[in-house]
Structure 1
């Protein structure tokens, strides 16, 4: 994984097909205990949005590598008082070995990456959630023994998770179908980028039909209908997104061995039912655990320890 040393991960398309597969293999080896790595470095977490899984999984991953974590809460640092990103980036570059940022605008990540020499990791932006999808792909591979030729159906808002799934599945050789209401579909530029990456290897489908997306799929995936910062729109979206709910009736259309995924937190009874979340097809808790293993592999690779 030496090719990743010192690089940024702002979008999943920053990785090549081979680099993605090597990361997933390393994550599996770290999870099984067949590989142990040490990397006594310092990770900074600069999170402008609330977080449970991303914050804790990054922290646990770094501690497992023997490193340290500094929680750079914006409310108690000068960024809350309007210090320019360029200034903050150049200072943090002198203190840290790597910086994970959870923010709103993708361009803020790009500014940090421009002014800092240390690796910058996208821990979620409004455009993408690449680290989540590393764990998603690891979970699919664990469940079926392979990624090539499997089909994932994402149902719901064409948001940051949908964008990273499109790109990640295209890289990994997974057929990907995104079913969203007409006015809530993924950004066309990302869809076209995913199709260019997939080429003739796999299909990249965007549709408004949840049943067509789910038919024969090995993985059904959903996310909240209103992302962080859109809470005031949540109730108005319920009738629009109701046909895209992952429930037992929709699961009947999928492969009989299909797994169900959700990046969490879930609004039970909205985008997914309790019965499905707690049912035999659910892999939500394995998926959440894999955030730690996938990010441990990523941190070690970017820091040159893998």
Structure 2
């Protein structure tokens, strides 16, 4: 089983094996130790990477730029509105030109097909900083956090509440792959992507993880070691869609009463930004069970490990 990512792309958990996911997670934890001990690790000094962000970002952009700086990588930030793609230049032309200038591309965009096309046309590695389908750098940060707080993966139970979108899909794949039971509190009619669900169930069959979709929030919370909150809506959705989703997810808010229905030592996770008072209350966000800022910091370490693993 390969563990060597050198020169390869990092696009989605759905394309990765259990061994590969664990390898990057462990490497991320190793880089965190170096960060804590202030051990220099400029392993990629001299490299120059492009960062293309078509969606707003706080954690992803800053985590990437700091991770790159620690590795000795210079980052060139590309503003989409200043590029010729806005005038109709084909993505394949842009990708091949960027490939001549840079040692790799970190991209945060909309459709997953965009990162796949970049990866197809570029010889240098492409890292997915978020698409509509997956958020793999977040997934590794989440696994780091779970390992740090719970010491294991297999045998744990996670309750997930929130919009079934990129973070949810990444979470579904890693839970099924690593043997984490997952109970998704899901309003009727808002089920996950069929292909992602199919891949999730296939992996769950191999690992023994129990994956369920339920409208019963209390059932989803029962015996949960991890309660994962997520925004009820996503960037770019219409006001009409947002209001519909808010109403549908209102019964699934993670508040103090909801946390009491999970295990007493359950942790609360959220990829951020959170809409306090909507999917989660301020009380839960600020509670001792909340690990959201450790999780947020781990984005930097996960991206650093991914960069180090794929860079030529």
TM class by shorter-chain length? over 0.9
Equivalent residues in 2 for 1:1-306, closer than 5 Å = 3-33=4-34, 37=41, 38-40=43-45, 41-199=47-205, 200-232=207-239, 233-303=241-311
Cα displacement string for residues 195-243 of structure 1 (whole angstroms, at most 9, x for unaligned residues): 2112242112222222211111111111111100015132332221111
In the alignment of these two chains, the number of paired residues is 304
Could you state the TM-score of these two structures normalised by the residue count of structure 1?
0.95
How far 1:2 moved relative to its partner? 5.6
Range that drifts further, 168-177 or 208-217: 168-177
Q: Is there any run of 5+ residues in structure 1 with no aligned partner, and where? A: none
Could you state the TM-score of these two structures normalised by the residue count of structure 2?
0.93
Cα displacement string for residues 89-131 of structure 1 (whole angstroms, at most 9, x for unaligned residues): 1001111111111111111111111111111111111111111
Across the aligned residues of Structure 1 and Structure 2, the Cα RMSD in angstroms comes to 1.5
CA contact (8 A) 2:164 2:191 kept: yes
Secondary structure at the counterpart of residue 266 of structure 1: coil
CA contact (8 A) 1:30 1:36 kept: no
How far 1:36 moved relative to its partner? 5.4
Q: Is there any run of 5+ residues in structure 2 with no aligned partner, and where? A: none
Cα displacement string for residues 146-204 of structure 1 (whole angstroms, at most 9, x for unaligned residues): 11211111112111111110011222222222211112221122111012112242112
Secondary structure at the counterpart of residue 43 of structure 1: strand
2-structure distance, mates of 1:192, 1:220: 23
CA contact (8 A) 2:10 2:306 kept: no
Secondary structure at the counterpart of residue 260 of structure 1: strand
Runs (4+) of structure 1 exceeding 3 A deviation are 34-37
Secondary structure at the counterpart of residue 254 of structure 2: coil
Secondary structure at the counterpart of residue 87 of structure 1: helix
Secondary structure at the counterpart of residue 300 of structure 2: helix
Secondary structure at the counterpart of residue 130 of structure 2: coil
